[in-house]
Structure 1
Amino acid sequence: MWKLASVASRRRWRRPSPRCGRKSRPSATRPRSRVPEMHRPGRRNVLLGALAWAAGIPSLARASSPGGGIEPPILSARHAFIGNLNDTLLAVHADVAVPIASVSKLITALVVLGADLPLDEKIRITEDDARLSQHTRSSLPLASVWRRDELLEWLLVASDNRAAAALARSYPGDWPEFQRAMRMLITQMQLFSFDFGDASGLSSINRANARDLGVLLVLLSQNPWFQHFARKPTVGAKMNVNRYAHDHSVALLAGKTGFTSEAGYCLAQAEAFGDQVFALVVLHARDRQARARDMDALRRYTRLTLGLGN
């Protein structure tokens, strides 16, 4: 299903502006969302280019880069990582695979986009979707109908678990084939710490280490879809669950929060710092406030290490 493109397609990062498509016809019962207009070949090529980039680079640096005498931050999170495809600035138990909760939804979205399925296809929310999402709170009522691209928006902006279940169920071959596609994708991207028990991250089987999440985030930072979803402040009446989506001083390029009792509070994101992109990962923080403090500390440490000031 997935084929690696030539490594020669690797490009230096630049920050494109996602284009928005035509407005959907208004509905009497619910507002339609705006999603980026991406032709299928271009959409697929961006993903294949990311895979080629991953294939051409063996791994992230295993030893932390010197911080120029800057004291590393003291974190409450059990696992943390700062790095890109060339450098590691900080690694705290970054090679231990742990539950990642809704951060899993990044791979769910990548599988859907990479399968080249019609984004305007209508998908009905079913009782199976509610059951598979463990009847967690959702903005998608039973029997409501949504386009696939709208479900992607609910997935990544509002972290809706029914959206994850519906996207996996509507994949050709249902969940077994979707799970197979997830595992095939992470194998091709050499993200060997990943595993999946569902599409939403509610399952404690959904695991990865902080270093592999860093690789994933840096690769996704090139993709206009993930840039769009990371920065979008709302979907429907729901706020983006990542507070950095609402901070215009942050050059956010991709990201996802997560929480379950097994995973604790998680946040993985990629940002531009000057002309470089770095992934910042916090896993298993004790509460939402601790996660926010830890991410602020990682961002500050990155800026100081790169000589960009506070």
Structure 2
Amino acid sequence: MKKFIAIFFLMLLAANTAVVPVYGLEAGSLQSRSAVLINADDGQVLFEKNMSDKMAPASITKIMLLLLISEKMDNGEIKLEQELTISENAAGMGGSQIYLEAYETQTVENMLKAISMRSANDASVAMAEFMYGSVEGCVKAMNDRAKELGMNNTHFVNVTGLPEPEHLTTAYDIALMTKELLKYDYVNEYMLTWMDSVYVGKEKDSEQVLVNTNRLINNYEGLLAGKTGFTNEAKYCLSAAAKRNDTTLIAVVLGSDTTKIRFAEIQKILNEGFANYKNIIFHSKGDVIRTSPVYCGVNDDFNVVSKENIYYFTESNCKAEDFNLEYVLEENLKAPLSKDVAIGKAVLYKDGKMLGEYKLYPEKDIEKENFFKFYLNNVLENIIR
């Protein structure tokens, strides 16, 4: 049975699962043991093969580490230029590495390059210790964040992806954490850089040339991010996100027998998605949708915006003209108004059926008119007349 289907289609406040018609990609046509394709905007599953099977993820594990780093950078806790001291524990990590020396200093930026491009285990442990004081503390944070994201079949034991019997996740869960990472752009540059280098050692006298393990960088249009992984237990793995026009998709393959298979199959999955589906964006986040009158405000009216894209993910043959948007705003709005409190909604329809609702907000805080100024401008003006 063809499985290019849509499950878990939640249009914001709508709770019903919608199924998009099937297309030509069949699970049986893939050699990878597990795979999934999702829409990055709402998490809708478009294709799956054993997406909930618990498997070893190898270095794809580091997507969660990169997410935690990105979140700490976003709230100002760490910066690219900050320096950290490499511990004996970090320097002693095996597997993929950049051969850091114990007690040398490095910058956060160099560690991000090493993790994103070479998948360096020593750099990963160094960042885990830098952020949380220990690898164990970082692993706890990774598992806590996984639960928050709904990664219900994931359990991390380390920050590197090196084999551990209980270090398991699923293709679907990997897609979820990749989706979350796309909210930030702190590591995009490094994930999409083909070649760079860092100098390591206490004297910084050893150049480590970094060649990205993700060869999609050179041959896949619209690639946004990607992370490879390999161990003998996990085999070849890959998570990749790509964008074309207004559509962003995330594909994951696990358990491929060769690196050639993982790259070929992830491109096949992404291509099928872009060929058959698209996002129609009616209003982008922050666009002025309309104006609304307001009483007792500094100004007589204000701009109305949405804090998210107003969009619909659908089959590629649909057009924007097939849909209707209705705007419902509260009546007799009175200042003050907060930009964080909704004052209405946009409702999306197709063929008379409601597809979703999107909250609308003032573009900025609306201050109440000063009473004395209001009196001078209005009451006295009328008296003078």
User: Normalized against structure 2, the TM-score is what?
Assistant: 0.59
The one of 124, 138, 145 aligned to 2:105: 145
Distance 1:192 1:86, change over 3 A: closer
The letter of the residue matching 1:288 is: T
Pair 1:70 & 2:20 matched: no
The aligned counterpart of 1:170 is 130
Does the 8 Å contact 1:122/1:146 carry over to 2? yes
Which residue identity lines up with residue 125 of structure 1 in the other structure?
Answer: I
Look up the SS of the partner of 1:98 in the other structure.
Answer: coil
CA distance in 2, matches of 1:167, 1:263: 24
CA deviations over 1:120-169 (Å, ceiling 9, x no partner): 332233431133x2x22422331442112220121111111111111112
Q: Which residue of 1 aligns with 2:141?
A: 181
Contact between 2:214 and 2:227, CA under 8 Å: does it hold in 1? yes
Q: Residues 229-271 of structure 1, C-alpha deviation per residue, up to 9 Å, x if partnerless?
A: 3211123122111011223x52122220000111110000111
Alignment match, 1:291: 262
Q: Tell me which residue corresponds to 2:34.
A: 79
One-letter code aligned to 1:70: G
Equivalent-residue separation in structure 1 for 2:99 and 2:17 (angstroms): 42
Deviation at 1:183, TM superposition (A): 1.5
Q: Give me the whole-angstrom Cα distance separating, in 1, the residues matched to 2:131 and 2:32.
A: 35
Amino acid at match of 1:91: E
Preserved CA contact (<8 Å) 1:65 1:87: no
Greater per-residue helix proportion = 1
1:277 equivalent in structure 2: 248
Matched, 1:243 2:215: yes
Q: Which residue of 1 aligns with 2:188?
A: 227
What's the counterpart of residue 260 of structure 1? Answer: 231
Q: Aligned to 2:114, which of 144, 149, 154?
A: 154
How many angstroms apart in 1 are the aligned matches of 2:101 and 2:218? 30
Query: Does the Cα contact within 8 Å between 1:66 and 1:89 map onto a contact in 2?
Result: no
Please tell me the residue identity of whatever aligns with 2:83.
Answer: K
The match for 1:121 among 65, 76, 82 is 82
Rounded Cα–Cα distance in structure 2 between residues aligned with 1:254 and 1:215? 14
Structure 1 position 220, deviation (Å): 1.8
State the alpha-carbon separation in 2 of the partners of residues 61 and 257 from structure 1.
Answer: 35
Identity of aligned residues (%): 22
Q: Which has the higher strand share?
A: 2
Aligned residues between the structures: 250
Please show how residues 201-220 of structure 1 align to structure 2 within 5 Å.
201-204=161-164, 205-220=166-181
Q: Is the 8 A contact 2:67 2:180 kept in 1?
A: no
Q: Partner amino acid for 1:104?
A: T
Whole-angstrom CA distance in 1 between matches of 2:57 and 2:30: 18
Answer whether contact 1:77 1:286 (CA < 8 A) is retained.
Answer: yes
Q: Is the 8 A contact 1:97 1:207 kept in 2?
A: yes
| Matched position secondary structure for 1:82 | strand
Q: Distance in 2 between matches of 1:231 and 1:213?
A: 19
Q: 1:78 to 1:299 in 2, by over 3 A?
A: same
Segments of structure 2 that go 5 or more residues without pairing to the other structure are: 1-10, 198-208, 278-314, 318-385
Q: Is the 8 A contact 1:101 1:266 kept in 2?
A: yes
SS at match of 1:208: coil
CA change 1:179–1:57 in 2 (3 A) is farther
Q: Give 1:64 shift.
A: 6.6
Find the partner of 2:66 among 95, 105, 109.
Answer: 109
One-letter amino acid of the counterpart of residue 160, structure 1: A
